[in-house]
Amino acid sequence: MDLHLHSTASDGTLSPTAVVRLAAARGLAGLSLTDHDTAAGVVEARAEAERLGLRFLIGAELSANEPGASVHLLAFGFAPGDGNLQAFFRRYDEDRRARGRAMVDRLCELGVLITYEDVEVQHGAAAPTRAHVARALVAGEHVSREQEAFARYLSRGRPAFVEKREVRPRDVFEKVHGAGGVVLLAHPGRTHGPDEVRRWAAEGLDGVEVLHPANSPSTRSRMKALAKELGLLASGGSDCHGPGTRRPEPGTEPVPLRWMDEILERCRA
């Protein structure tokens, strides 16, 4: 199982269909497509998963923030056609497009002459992400690789970083719960610890991503124990973004099948 995968519906390099085919080729029994702030690829991915006999869990990785920090949340099992959630996704889309233009403006002010059209070449029909801006910088030979673009310009605290619109974690909990889904904290090993998990659990967080490449062995043990203590769900995945992104391939994290079953059972409840 792999419950954290990205496609060209956000900042991945493979189509939703190709992501599912890669998961099948890697021998996975099931997956969830969790594109950033959108469920645009889930219908296509689910159809291919059904054709190949793979289990499929609807998902998305939704952005929230608190002062000075981004919070990434994995939403699972929601009804993608829910009206309130669709409106939530539309606001994400509008914000990402405005943010992309603002990053281009900041880069130009710094003397890095790219255009928003250069970024559009990278993101196509999807809403732009910082990864797309980084790829435009690489294509324009302003930097040698995406990591350099983030280090010099696009990471938090760097001169072309633009904050996302304010979305509190509890806003995400409310919208996803209203659409019949659950919300788990993504890759807690990057920036978030037990105190924040406890606080968000009191606000409606349903679980944590125990298995992730960014989670150290101690983080995995700590999050697994915390999930048991608080009655939280567990999930995991590779966070694969496809070829050319220097991310792991699907299935690199050994996610138990029962975790998907437990997520679906919580959604039904």
Query: Mean pLDDT of all residues in the chain?
Result: 96
Mean pLDDT, range 96-110, rounded to an integer = 97
Mean pLDDT, range 92-97, rounded to an integer = 95
Q: CATH 1.10.150.650 in the chain, residues?
A: 90-154
Burial of 218 from C-beta contacts in 10 A (0-12 / 13-18 / 19+) = exposed
How confident is the model at residue 192, as a pLDDT? 83
CA trace torsion 163, 240, 153, 158 (10° rounding): 50
Residue 106 has pLDDT above 90, yes or no: yes
Handedness of CA 262, 247, 196, 100 (dihedral sign): negative
Q: What is the pTM of this model?
A: 0.92
**What does CATH list as the number for 2-81+167-268?**
3.20.20.140
Condensed to tens digits (0 to 9), the pLDDT of residues 112-160 reads 999 999 999 999 989 999 999 999 999 999 999 999 999 999 999 999 9
Q: CATH 3.20.20.140 in the chain, residues?
A: 2-81+167-268
Token duo for residue 106: 């900041």
How confident is the model at residue 68, as a pLDDT? 82
Q: Does domain 90-154 have CATH number 1.10.150.650?
A: yes
E strand or H helix at 61:
strand 55-66
